[in-house]
């Protein structure tokens, strides 16, 4: 991390490169990146609106914000998988620290998330007459969510360098997050066992709950404000585990 100021110019150039080579190089491309989350929203909305909609206040907003967060998480994990494999080719031929490559790889998911969440808030405030949510709190939770997602991405990406089928296993398991996160249902609809499982074992849950309640201007339904603390603790633990795992395996990633 101490090396970052020395390589700041490289970091900026790599961030620009990621953005230019993503679908954000054109306006149409940027719009295209919303299509995936919007399609998921449309499908889930029409399937669940009658069953769950009446029991969840502001169901469309909560559904869409959950999908935006889940998409952000998946993009970050994917970016980390790619960054670790890309960094192998760079680090072996130069003195570039891996951290620069990882941080630059986050640029596109961060920008996409920022644009999506800004559009979402603008639309809900203007069209659905919602009140402007607490933006600094949303930013703080987004930052913690970024740390947590990066940690999981680093952990999985590092393990993938030891066993190359981790990526395939993750690709098969990741869609389950849609059903184990409170995106189209609320926690009070679950049995006590199911609620405890989703709340404690899914690291995405506290962030989704925070976002949904901040945007809907509601109180956190379960475990009250401990959810914010949980978001902070999960972020620190996941980033710590991911980073330590990467550092432990870094030599092996470079040398094999």
Partner 1 sequence: MTPNPILKLDKIGKLFGVYQVQKTLFRLSQNFFRGKPFKKELWALRNISFEVFEGDKIAVIGRNGAGKTTLFRVAVGIYSPTEGTVEKQKPLIPLFKYGIGMNPHLPVIDNIYILGAFYGFSVKEIKMKLPGILSFAELEEFPYMPVRNLSSGQVQRLSFSVFMQTEEPFLAFDESLALADFRFQKKTGDYFKNLMNSNRTILVASHSLGALRQYCRKAIWLEQGEIVEMGDTNEIINKYEKFCLQIPPES
Among 31, 132, 162, 176, binds partner 1 (CB under 8 A): 162
The answer to whether residues 37 and 68 touch, using CB atoms and an 8 Å cutoff, is yes
Among 3, 4, 17, 32, binds partner 1 (CB under 8 A): 17
Instruction: Write down the least CB distance from residue 147 to partner 1, Å.
Output: 26
The C-alpha atoms of residue 150 and residue 89 are separated, in whole angstroms, by: 21
Q: What does the per-residue mask of binding to partner 1 show for 107-146, with x meaning CB under 8 A?
A: ----------------------------------------
The answer to whether residues 130 and 212 touch, using CB atoms and an 8 Å cutoff, is no
The C-alpha atoms of residue 179 and residue 204 are separated, in whole angstroms, by: 12
Q: Is 172 in the site for partner 1 (CB under 8 A)?
A: no
Q: Is 147 in the site for partner 1 (CB under 8 A)?
A: no
The piece of 29-37, 40-48, 145-153, 246-254 that touches partner 1 (CB under 8 A) is 246-254
Smallest CA-to-CA distance from 244 within 162, 159, 168, 126 is with 159
- Determine the size of the site formed for partner 1 (CB under 8 A): 28
Q: Is 92 in the site for partner 1 (CB under 8 A)?
A: yes
Instruction: Specify the residue, 201 or 256, whose C-beta has the smaller distance to partner 1.
Output: 256
Among 1, 2, 9, 192, binds partner 1 (CB under 8 A): 9
Q: Residue 50: how many CB atoms within 10 A of its CB?
A: 8
Instruction: Specify the residue, 18 or 112, whose C-beta has the smaller distance to partner 1.
Output: 18
The answer to whether residues 198 and 182 touch, using CB atoms and an 8 Å cutoff, is yes
**What burial letters (b/e) apply to 105-143, b meaning 16+ CB within 10 Å?**
bbbbbbbbbeebbeebbeebeeeeebeebeeeebeebbe
Among 3, 4, 20, 189, binds partner 1 (CB under 8 A): 20
Instruction: Specify the residue, 44 or 79, whose C-beta has the smaller distance to partner 1.
Output: 79
Q: Residue 149: how many CB atoms within 10 A of its CB?
A: 29
The piece of 33-41, 65-73, 165-173, 211-219 that touches partner 1 (CB under 8 A) is 165-173
Q: Collapsing DSSP states into helix, strand and coil, what is residue 198?
A: helix
Per CB under 8 A, residues contacting partner 1 are 9-10, 12-14, 16-17, 20-21, 89-96, 162-166, 169, 251-252, 254-256
């Amino acid at each position: 991390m101490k090396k970052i100021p020395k390589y700041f110019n490289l970091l900026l150039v790599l961030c620009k490169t990621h953005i230019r080579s993503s679908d954000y190089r054109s306006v149409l491309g940027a719009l295209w990146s919303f299509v995936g989350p919007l399609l998921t929203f449309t499908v889930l909305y029409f399937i669940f609106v009658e069953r769950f909609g009446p029991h969840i206040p502001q169901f469309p907003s909560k559904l869409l914000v959950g999908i935006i967060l889940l998409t952000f998480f998946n993009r970050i994990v994917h970016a980390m998988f790619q960054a670790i494999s890309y960094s192998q080719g760079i680090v072996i031929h130069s003195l570039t620290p891996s951290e620069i490559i990882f941080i630059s790889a986050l640029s596109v998911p961060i920008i996409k998330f920022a644009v999506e969440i800004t559009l979402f808030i603008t639309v809900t405030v203007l069209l659905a007459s919602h009140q402007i949510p607490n933006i600094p709190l949303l930013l703080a939770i987004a930052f913690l969510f970024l740390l947590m997602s990066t940690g999981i991405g680093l952990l999985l990406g590092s393990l993938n360098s030891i066993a190359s089928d981790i990526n395939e296993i993750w690709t098969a398991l990741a869609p389950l997050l849609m059903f184990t996160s409170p995106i189209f249902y609320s926690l009070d609809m679950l049995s006590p066992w199911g609620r405890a499982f989703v709340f404690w074992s899914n690291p995405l849950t506290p962030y989704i709950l925070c976002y949904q309640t901040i945007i809907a201007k509601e109180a956190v339904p379960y475990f009250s404000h401990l959810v914010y603390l949980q978001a902070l603790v999960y972020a620190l633990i996941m980033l710590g585990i991911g980073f330590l795992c990467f550092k432990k395996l870094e030599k092996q990633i470079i040398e094999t």
